[in-house]
Amino acid sequence: MSALAGRVAIVTGAGRGLGRAHALLLARLGAAVVVNDLGGDVHGTGQDTTPALQVVDEIRHAGGQAVASGHDVADWAQAAALVDLAVTTFGDLHVLVNNAGILRDRTLARMNEAEWDSVVRVHLKGHAAPTAHALAHWRRRAGEGVRPDASVIHTTSVAAFTGNVGQANYGAAKMAMLALSRCVSLEAGRHGVRSNAISPGARTRITEGMGTAEVAEGAFDPADPANVSPLVAWLAQAGCPADGQVFHCSGEEILVVDMPRAVARLRTEGRWTLADLDRRLPDALRTPPALDDFLGGAEPARGETEADR
């Protein structure tokens, strides 16, 4: 039996790049897939269901089950309709892969309100809205005596771990997803729902201009989005042991990323004084993580020319 036979999955942002690769693999492994994509450009403007329909055609041509969705996942009502589409079309829902995203890079001093709001809306609300409606469905199923054995997979970024020039909106939203994923794990675990987050390293529209090495014909391509999809499929399986975890996946490598933990504990008698802080706190400070800690130097940080445009 295929690893995901009988499972129903929604993949958002599935018309291109990572989402497309995830949808194709999930379908190949037996899942029925709702291919969701609003069809806008990398900045979030426009709407075109053609990319989603093309992925559905690929899946069906290969013998799989799929349906296209052009719902706006950051709209609460449309996110509800997306979940309803999965349930009415395929009878249930087991997997939600939150992958939709856009970019509007600019240093914070130059960023306008619309650039901030649009990125946070798509990345954070666009994860939260479908998750909320999926959780409501699974809670109803649990109330009917059916333990869902469900999985929510969120897409975060190294920009959440390290920050990046010109990506205050994007990095903040991606960091918020870690809290969202953890809250879902804590709230929904008793109903049979797992929640995990993946930071992918791959060549997509969002990473264009960051530089990837040329690959000889027939050689392994470390920037291929499909390299991330097996981890998504593993997390989508019934009975997967991972819950509340954060991963970075790029090329041939998977990093298990620790959530922030206390690395020093300092105590004083009564209230701290500035003199005590001057004396004790500097030695406890840590160097913030850098992109190379996760990317191994494969991709440079965004340059100031692009970020300040």
Q: Contact at 8 Å (CB) between 155 and 98?
A: yes
Distance CA 280, CA 299 (A): 37
Q: What are phi and psi of 39, to 5 degrees?
A: 85, 20
Quick check: is 170 catalytic? yes
* Catalytic member of 151, 170, 195, 229: 170
CA distance to 24, 118, 275, 281, per residue, from 46 (Å)? 24, 13, 56, 50
Q: Respond yes or no: is residue 151 known to be catalytic.
A: no
Q: Which DSSP symbol is given to 1?
A: -
The question of whether 125 is a catalytic residue gets the answer no
Pairing of strands 95-98, 8-12: parallel
**Three-state DSSP class for residue 204:** coil
Q: Residues 11, 15, 18, 20: is their CA dihedral positive or negative? A: positive
Q: Which of 125, 174, 181, 229 is catalytic?
A: 174
CB-hemisphere CA count at 13 Å for 255? 17
* Catalytic annotation, pick one of 157, 199, 229, 250: 157
Q: Which residues are catalytic?
A: 157, 170, 174
